[in-house]
A = this chain, B = another copy of it.
Amino acid sequence: MLSSRLKATLPRWEQIMEGLREPGPHIVDVLRMADATGRPAVQPRCGVGDHREMLRLLEELGTTGADVLTVTVDSHTRLGQYATAQRLLRDSPDDLNGYPLVTHGWRRGRELRGRVPHPLQVRHGSPDARDLFAIALASGVTAFEGGGIGYNLPYSKDVPLKTTLGSWQRIDAVCGALAKDGVLVDRELFGTLSAVLMPPSISLAITLLEAAAAAREGVRCVSPAYPQSGEMHQDIAALRAIRMLGRRYLGTDVEVFPVLHEFMGPFPRTPQYANFLIMYGGLTARLGRASKVVSKTAKESYGIPDAAANAEGILNTILGTSDLLDFVRVDEDRVAEEESWILQEVGELVEPLFSGEDLLGGVVEAFQTGRLDIPFSASVHAHSDVVPARDRGGAVRYADPGALPFSSATRSRHARQLSARTGAARRTTSLIERITRDINYFLDKERTVLPAIDERPLP
């Protein structure tokens, strides 16, 4: 499964198991506690090239109240370009947009793991993550993100789905073996996909298929992640639907922990507004009873956040989940209606695949025919025929469902919801203007909510 060169650097399996059995808190403890208290665990994204800087970053973020910390892997490592990553680490580490875990190796990985009391998760985006997974396990890390679809289509240009589904099947098989030995690896599934205007039913259908494939390999702990759309009723409905779908399709021996990824779209420049949106994401996670929320930073639209910006993102997310907002209620009927639509659409997408024997083969074939698809796919292995759009209330609907096998009831509902948008907006603007405006949903709100003040140098 691993390249022999890499295998040589790894410790013996018993040593790895020993590391994995060290006292927690383990990711699954944190996630179960979150469900028990109704307060989602908070996790920042963080990753810098230099090892010492990464240790310092984890230590500092560890004091902000975050419950889980992240090792975000750089782009070169995720594409297997270990030589480039090594060269950059040596010559200009600042030019790495993440932590080159393979180059640093498992001993330094263990040092990261041991430096903070919080569980670590490796986030990356590799189509073939077997090397990274091996080093993560050797480092004592039991939280690993990725899947055969979610870490292919949004990240890679031309890697066959059959290949990535196959490589992740092997990773899940290792997790299955570990589960039998009492070591639970939490497998987070990247339902964010291309992260921009992602229709909830596509995100939930794809993570459900990945979860089902993982469960068949013996995985016992999955975290389907859903990208915040920004319309509160739709987001709450989607998070609730994840638990319902888990019960309906994955049975009772797989623990399902819904995860909210805070709004991934372009971020406003005014610090107060950006911080407000980050708090808003925390509130969304709590109202939707998510087990975990991955926080943003106000620097989102600039580049890699520094420690201070990340800490501010964590604090504002925590405030959104705090008991100060426990008084908040929502229109339950409207949420229930959104949830029913999502459950119906996911059913229409996945049931044909669950009825076939060869799940993975069925998935590959569905993407070839467009019966599974995502908007803005980086990969040529999806049609990218699905065109999303926001309705008047801001919820993400299907302007064009492409070849997705939706019922006529589902298709006409989306058409009706989008036809109610202000006439002017629909007719005159071009597709790109309309989509860009929907992508910039929160930016435009900034202008209406806050006056056009220049970016004031506030304290």
| Partner-B contacts on A (CB < 8 A) | 63-65, 232-233, 270-273, 275-276, 279-280, 308-309, 311-312, 315-316, 318-319, 322-324, 327-331, 445, 449-451, 453, 456-459
- A450, B311: Cα distance in complex, Å: 12
Residues in B neighbouring A272, C-beta threshold 8 A = 275, 312, 315-316, 319
Chain B's nearest CB lies how many Å from the CB of A182? 31
**Interface pair B270/A315, CB less than 8 Å apart:** yes
* Inter-chain pairs besides A272-B316, A276-B316, A279-B279, 11 sampled, C-beta below 8 Å: A64-B451, A65-B450, A233-B327, A272-B275, A273-B319, A308-B458, A308-B459, A312-B459, A315-B450, A322-B445, A324-B449
**Residue from A273, A312, A459 having most chain B Cβ neighbours under 10 A:** A459
Residues in B neighbouring A275, C-beta threshold 8 A = 272, 275
23 inter-chain pairs at a CB distance below 8 angstroms, sorted by A residue, are: A64-B451, A64-B453, A65-B450, A65-B451, A65-B453, A271-B459, A272-B275, A272-B312, A272-B316, A272-B319, A273-B315, A273-B319, A280-B324, A308-B456, A308-B457, A308-B458, A312-B459, A315-B450, A318-B449, A322-B449, A324-B445, A329-B329, A329-B330
Closest to A287 in B: B327
- A65, B323: Cα distance in complex, Å: 29
7 nearest A-B residue pairs (beta carbon): A329-B329, A272-B315, A65-B451, A322-B449, A232-B327, A276-B319, A312-B458
- A65, B63: Cα distance in complex, Å: 35
Residues in B neighbouring A453, C-beta threshold 8 A = 63-65
**Interface pair A451/B270, CB less than 8 Å apart:** no
Q: A65-B450, A270-B315, A275-B275 are in contact. Are A459 and B309 (CB under 8 A)?
A: yes
- A272, B310: Cα distance in complex, Å: 13
- A7, B449: Cα distance in complex, Å: 45
Chain B's nearest CB lies how many Å from the CB of A83? 36
**Interface pair A319/B449, CB less than 8 Å apart:** yes
Residues in B neighbouring A64, C-beta threshold 8 A = 451, 453
